[in-house]
Every structure is written in structure tokens, then in C-alpha cells.
Amino acid sequence: MKDFTSCYFTMNEEDAVEYAKTMLDIFDDDAELTCKEIGDGNLNYVFRVVDEKNGKSIIIKQAGPVARISDEFKVSPDRNRIESEILKLQGELAPGFVPKMYKYDPVMNCCVMEDLSDHQIMRTALMEHKKFPLFADHITTFMVNTLLLTSDVVMDHKEKKELVKKFINPELCEITEDLVYTEPFYDCPRNDLLDETRKFVQDEIWNDQQLALETAKLKFEFMTNAQSLLHGDLHTGSIFIKEDSTKVIDPEFAFYGPAGYDVGNVIANLIFAYANAKFTIDDEGRRKDYMTYLEETIKDVIDLFKTKFLAAWDEKATERVAKYPGFREYYLDSILKDTAAVTGLELCRRIIGIAHVKDITSIEDQSKRVRAEKLCLSAGKTFILERETMKHGVDYVKVIRTFAQQF
Ligand code: SR1
Ligand code: MG
């Protein structure tokens, strides 16, 4: 029998079954448990444990001492505490939009949560060219609630600072500072890009001094602006979806940072799906239809976020000076600027840096993949440099259409 109570070890599928039997009070005594490790992220192990007798199932997610993507990233398994605490908090702020948390285990650095296997990872669903008409509404409610309601606009300032302390997340922030804000913008040995894309990156990204300066400003904004409690990694691989339901998972990068970081990640990852659609759907009618659907979704995410943010501000703001005329527009404006910038950073880093996205890497025809990469890089650079002008959903659509025509 394994000892799960005194010393951490990384579990395998057999261990996860034993863990479910001996450490959890979820399954019947005569349950016939099976387990499969289903994690395909860069960091953790995800075990799906099922009682074959009745189909009841749970997820056990365990943090290992190093990232799965590379041993170079030594990340404290304490990220699992952050993840389980923030999921509880997000569940209160945005009910129905995160999985239920059953248990957090600080010895095994794992948490046990609701199995969402009736949903699909959104990145995969978008690559299958499925549509989710409720997504923009759902994700903007989630973002407005989690971002505005954890800010100084709404929270008592001392309580907010307690949350800043509780969710200080130096190691995972360092990953973002390196992989998103720094390495993609110079010829860093850890970058991982196609030879065919390298010359374009050299000319358009690495040789652009203005772009380098802007990324420096943005990096310091990320490190110093404790505005809202972020999800911190809100890409389409962190979202489970089905027609009538959207669930946000994997908030282990959570910390207090600029609110636009989450919104920009959502937009950039919809743009990866857009590039995928452009270069993988052969039938012209279907391709146009799906790209239009994604354009509408991008537009709606920006515009609904703005409308809901201002309405929630009027209803929930407690800070006296936040109610002065013009301040809420000034504040939202700065979030929109950050949103555009982060959209651009994410678009560039997933092409140039070490952590890629399947929307692009799965494009089998190499010349089409290179065109998709150039589309993302060009749009990304534009969003960073022209972030002051990106005020409405339609501004995003104009940029991606321009580069979809060019490449
Ligand atoms: C070492 S982790 C690489 C990336 O995977 C995560 O999902 C984050 O996006 C991170 O940047
Ligand atoms: Mg993740």
C-alpha cells in the first residue's frame, strides 16, 4: 500500500486509483475504478478516475516538481494550492463557470475536482470548426466578474492586499515574464521556430527597436500593476466547452496583474483558431463562414466585455474616487490598451517561443503553416505597436482581415 500522507511522490495511473480508493470518500466501497492520465498541458499530470460500474468519475490533478514541457522549468508544486484556492474564489465570483473542487491535498500536491468530460477542450473544438454562440457572453461574464470584483474599484483595499499576498506566484510569473515578454523578442537560444519563419522574425520582430522598447514597457506593466486577480493563462486550452456551457480551468498562473492580460489571451487564441481555419478548411464557403464566425466572436468578446464592465462598475464600485465622472472610462481604456498589447504578445510568443499552440503546429502543409505564422506575427506586432487605437471589437477584425488577405 502506498503512503499518501507523509511524503510527496509523483503518481502514476495505478497510484491514482489507490489514492481515489483510500483518500477520497467519493466512490462506493465496491467501485471498479479505472484510470487514464489525460493531461496534455505543459506542466501537470491529470488523472481521470472512473467507476466502471456506474460511470461516476473525477479528475485528480497533480503538480510535479518540474514542468512536463521541459526539466528546465523547476516550478514549486505549491501552484496546486493556488489553483485550488483560486478555483473556489472564481466559483464564488462567477458561479457556474469553473469546475467544482472536492479536495486539495498539500502533501501530494494534488486537487480533486469535477470531471468535465461531457465538455471538450475549446482549442480542439475550434480546430474541428465547431461553433459556440454563447461563448462570448459566457467568457465576458467570467472575466468582468473575476477581474473587476477583485480590484480596488470594488474591494476593501486591505482585503484586496491580503489577496495580493495570498496569490503571490513568483515562479509561474517568472515563466510568463520570460516566455511571453522577453525571449520571443530577441534571438534567445530557448526559442523554437521554423527555419522558414526565422528570416521573417529576424526582419520584422528582432530587428525592430521600437517593438523591443514597447515590450520592455509592457513587461514592467505586467510585473508591477497589481490591478486584478488574473487567471493568468486564459487560452483556449484552459477552457472546457459545450454548446450551452463554458468552464474555465487551470488557473495555476493566477496572481494580481493587469486585467487586460486575461482578455488579450482569449482574443489571441481565437486568432490562432482563425489562422487555423484559413489554412485548413479547403471548401471556400465553409472557410469563409467559419472565419466570419470567429471574427464575430472576437468582436463580441471585446464589445461585450466593455459593456458589462461599465455596467458592473456602476453597480459594484465602492471606492469613492472611482465614481468621479470620466474615471471608469479612463480605467477601461487602459485595460483595452493592455488587452491589445497582450493579444500581440501572445500571438508572437506562441510562434517564436518554446510553448506552441496546436492550431498552428497541426497545419500539415509546411508552406501554409509558415503563412499562418506570418499572419499571426504581423497581426501580433500591429496589436503591440498600435495598442492605443484598439478600442472596439471591429478594430481587431480589421487587423486580422488585413493580414489574412496579405498571407
Ligand atoms: C513552461 S510552461 C509553458 C506555457 O504553458 C502554460 O500553459 C503557459 O502558457 C506557459 O507559458
Ligand atoms: Mg495550463
Say yes or no to pLDDT of 76 above 90. Answer: no
Please tell me the distance between residue 1's alpha carbon and the centre of ligand 2 in angstroms.
Answer: 31
Q: Model pTM greater than 0.95?
A: yes
Model confidence band, residue 28 (pLDDT cutoffs 50, 70, 90): very high
- At residue 64, the pLDDT reads 87
Q: Of 90, 108, 110, 109, which is closest to residue 100 (Cα–Cα)? A: 90
Residue nearest to atom 2 of ligand 1 (CA): 42
Rounded-to-integer distance, Cα 339 and Cα 391, Å: 10
The residue whose CA has the least distance to atom 9 of ligand 1 is: 233
- Of 216, 212, 225, 308, the closest CA to residue 260 belongs to 225
pLDDT tens figures, 109-120: 999 999 999 999
pLDDT at position 328: 98
Confidence of residue 69 (pLDDT cuts 50, 70, 90): confident
**Residue 322 one-letter amino acid:** A
Residue of the CA atom closest to atom 5 of ligand 1: 42
Is 39 exposed, middle or buried (CB count within 10 Å of its CB: 0-12, 13-18, 19+)?
A: middle
d(CA 264, CA 143): 11
How many Å separate Cα 154 from the centre of its chain?
24
pLDDT at 32: 98
With a 6 Å cutoff on the Cβ, whether 233 touches ligand 1 is yes
Confidence of residue 42 (pLDDT cuts 50, 70, 90): confident
Domain 13-114 and domain 120-406 have a common topology = no
Angle between helices 260-280 and 393-406 (to 10 degrees): 30
Which H or E run contains 48? strand 45-51
| Matching CATH number, 13-114, of 3.40.640.10, 3.30.200.20, 1.10.8.60, 3.50.50.60 | 3.30.200.20
C-alpha cell at 154: 470594488
pLDDT band at 13 (very low <50, low <70, confident <90, very high): very high
Identify the nearest ligand to the CA of 238 by its number: 2
Of the listed ligands, the closest to the CA of 83 is 2
% of residues, the chain, pLDDT over 70: 100
**Is there an atom of ligand 1 within 6 Å of 43 CB?**
yes
pLDDT of res. 189: 98
Amino acid at 231: H
Q: Assign 68 a pLDDT band (cuts: 50, 70, 90).
A: confident
Do residues 276 and 127 touch, judged by C-beta distance below 8 A?
yes
- Tell me what pLDDT residue 131 has: 98
Ligand 1, pocket-test mutation among 175, 191, 361, most atoms within 8 A of CB: 175
Distance 101 CA to ligand 1 centre (A): 22
Ligand 1 centre distance from Cα of residue 355 (Å) = 6
Q: Which atom of ligand 1 is nearest to the CA of 73?
A: 1
CA of 235 to the centre of ligand 2 (A): 8
Average pLDDT, the chain: 97
- For range 40-67, the mean pLDDT: 94
CB–CB of 276/368 below 8 Å? Answer: no
The superfamily in CATH containing domain 120-406 is: Aminoglycoside phosphotransferase (APH), C-terminal lobe (3.90.1200.10)
Which residues in 189-341 belong to E strands, given as ranges?
Answer: 228-229, 239-242, 245-248, 256-257
Identify the residue whose C-alpha is closest to ligand 1 atom 6: 42
Nearest-atom number in ligand 1 for the CA of 69 is 1
Rg (CA), the chain: 21
Burial status of residue 111 (CB atoms within 10 A of its CB: 0-12, 13-18, 19 or more): buried
| CB 355 less than 6 A from any atom of ligand 1 | yes
Q: Which amino acid is at 355?
A: A
Domain ranges of the chain: 13-114, 120-406
pLDDT of residue 318: 98
Q: Would you list the DSSP string of 309-355?
A: HHHHHHHH---GGGGSTTHHHHHHHHHHHHHHHHHHHHHHHHHHSS-
Q: Which residues contact 217 (CB under 8 A, 6 or more apart)?
A: none
- Note the pLDDT of residue 65: 86
pLDDT digits (tens, 9 = 90+) for 286-309: 999 999 999 999 999 999 999 999
Tell me: the pLDDT tens digits for 130-140? 999 999 999 99
